[in-house]
Amino acid sequence: MSEHSVLDDPTDVKGGSPDRFGYSWEKFNDLTPDQEEQFRRWTAPLDLEKDWHGKRFLDVGCGMGRNSYWPMMHGAAGGVAIDVDERSLAAARRNLARFPSVEVLHRSAYDFEERNDFDIAFSIGVIHHLENPGRAVQRMRQAVKPGGAVLIWVYGYENMEHYVWVLNPLRNHVFSRIPVSVVRYLAYVPTAFLWIFLRLGLSRVEYFKLLRRFTFRHLHHIVFDQMIPRIANYWRKDEVESLMQQAGLNDIRLVWVNEMSWAAVGYKAAATILDNMAPQTSETHSN
């Protein structure tokens, strides 16, 4: 798997752009019905009505809290939502205020001490922005109970080849290096082209069919989020499966989401010596 490291410490999440995503979530933090459909697709290996009901979860890189909101609306018992940028956490606390059984905490993807505690640990759109994604997924495995599920949604490489070859270098060398407030305004230009492209119906890829439903404001947020991170990995199916296997997960299942990304779930086996050891001192996380 390719990674674009910007820091010497592979467990320091500053390289994963939590400050830039915090700015994004401060500007766009409304809960909308189309986000439920997004969540269903991002977590496709699990059934929202059945698999989350009565379960306690860990949301790693919660952003503005929308991915904890939908499980709670469908009967989850509660959980912990973590992030490291205070603007993201403030938005999450507002959006999850109606659910007292959900704690919103300042912790990183590497920095939570819970062991054998949750039924489900999940991370939506975060792992591919980290310098050490394997360590984050391993921490998630340690956090769930024996038999518990670890679920991630990450960018795929399939159907994204041209983006990776052409636009990804532009993001790496230009957009990720200039002030995020400037990028926000620059993002209106590609958003306008995307809006026209979608209205013309020129692509049959499932993701673009979904995007046609979204408002211009929502599309702008998606484009903006693609432009701002310092690290963004686009992984093939076998790379995602390997990431889950190396974290010690079993019964791994992958779903190709919107013909452009991967949702993967794996399950924790019986408790191991590693899971019962005290965690090492660590760091801070990203969305």
Which tens digit of pLDDT belongs to each residue from 265-277? 999 997 655 555 5
- The token pair at 56 is 């306690």
Q: Is the pLDDT of residue 281 over 80?
A: no
Phi then psi dihedrals of residue 142, to 5 deg: -65, -30
CA diameter of the chain: 57
- Domain extents for the chain? 13-156+233-276, 161-227
pLDDT of the residue at 167: 80
Tell me the pLDDT of the chain averaged across its residues: 88
Out of 1-15, 37-51, 80-94, 132-146, which region has the weakest mean confidence (pLDDT)?
Answer: 1-15
Cβ-in-10-Å burial (0-12, 13-18, 19+) of 94 comes to middle
For residues 63-91, give the mean pLDDT. 97
Query: Measured between alpha carbons, how far apart are the two ends of the chain, in Å?
Result: 20
Half-sphere exposure of 218 toward its Cβ, with a 13 Å CA cutoff? 13
At 280, is the pLDDT very low, low, confident or very high (cuts 50, 70, 90)?
very low
- The token pair at 31 is 């809960």
- The token pair at 79 is 């959980």
CATH 3.40.50.300 fits 13-156+233-276, yes or no: no
Q: What whole-number distance in Å separates Cα of residue 73 and Cα of residue 83?
A: 21
Out of 105-119, 143-157, 239-253, which region has the weakest mean confidence (pLDDT)?
Answer: 105-119
List the one residue out of 85, 126, 131, 76 whose CA is nearest residue 104: 85
What's the one-letter identity of residue 188? Answer: Y
- Residue 264's DSSP bridge partners are 152, 254
Contacts of 50 (CB under 8 A, 6+ apart): none
Contacts of 277 (CB under 8 A, 6+ apart): none
pLDDT of the residue at 187: 95
